[in-house]
Copies of this chain bind each other. A is one copy, B any other.
Amino acid sequence: MTTTTARGRATRLRLVEAAARLMHVNGVAATSVDDVLEAAGAGKSQFYHAFASKNDLVAAVLEFQAASGEKEQAALFRAHPGWEGIRAWLDAVVASQQRARYAGGCPIGSMAAEMADRDPALRRRLKTAFQRKRNAVHRHLAALQDAGSLRGDADVDALATFVMATLQGGLLLGSTYKDGAPLRHAVEAAWAHLLSFRP
């Protein structure tokens, strides 16, 4: 289903934003369509005008989270070329976990942990969302390599995947500990490992 009017698009966005907030904290399974309607101040007919089903809403929430993460990261990489871009991104992840008071973790990571084994179609979308993020890091590292700031024998794909994994794990431990230390330790070690590939 598509919503073509400006009002329809605004309602759709309000529903997606409300669902994104609820699903980030409570998870997908524990967030009902009724919870989303209540939080967004919308009615059932508005919902089913915008979405075919709850699954359709979950896919829209994932796309919303992936797109906003991608936009922030691209802005950081544009503003800070070279190694500073990687450092700025790592610092931004640490700062954002602190701002969220160690709640929720990475919205895509949390959704993946809950849903990857339970919904094959959503799992494929989650994989694509992780890969988009990985590709952005990959491109930035490849540019460092082209510029001679990263050794030619460094496997940029492996490094990008490693940094993503370390951040995901640090966010998960941090939201379990309710403490910034795990992510800080994870980030500093990942940074040191990346820098070990400077020529």
Contact = CB atoms under 8 A, between A and B. Distances in A.
Interface of A: 25-27, 29-30, 103-105, 109-110, 112-114, 116-118, 123, 126-127, 130, 157-159, 161-162, 164-170, 172-173, 175-178, 181-183, 185-186, 188-190, 192-193, 196
Contact of A169 (B26, B110, B114, B169): B169
B168 A164 contact: no
> Lowest 7 CB-CB distances: which A-B pairs, in order?
A113-B113, A165-B169, A169-B169, A168-B169, A162-B189, A165-B186, A158-B185
A127 B176 contact: yes
A168 to B, nearest CB: 4
Contacts of A167: 169
Contacts of A181: 161
A172 B169 contact: yes
A156 to B, nearest CB: 11
A30 B118 contact: yes
A117 B169 contact: no
B27 A176 contact: no
Given A169-B169, A192-B193, 13 more contacts: A27-B114, A103-B117, A110-B113, A126-B176, A130-B177, A158-B189, A161-B173, A165-B169, A165-B185, A165-B186, A167-B169, A172-B172, A189-B190
A118 B113 CA distance: 15
Contacts of A104: 117
Given A165-B169, A169-B166, A172-B172, A158 B118 contact: no
A173 B134 CA distance: 11
Contacts of A157: 185
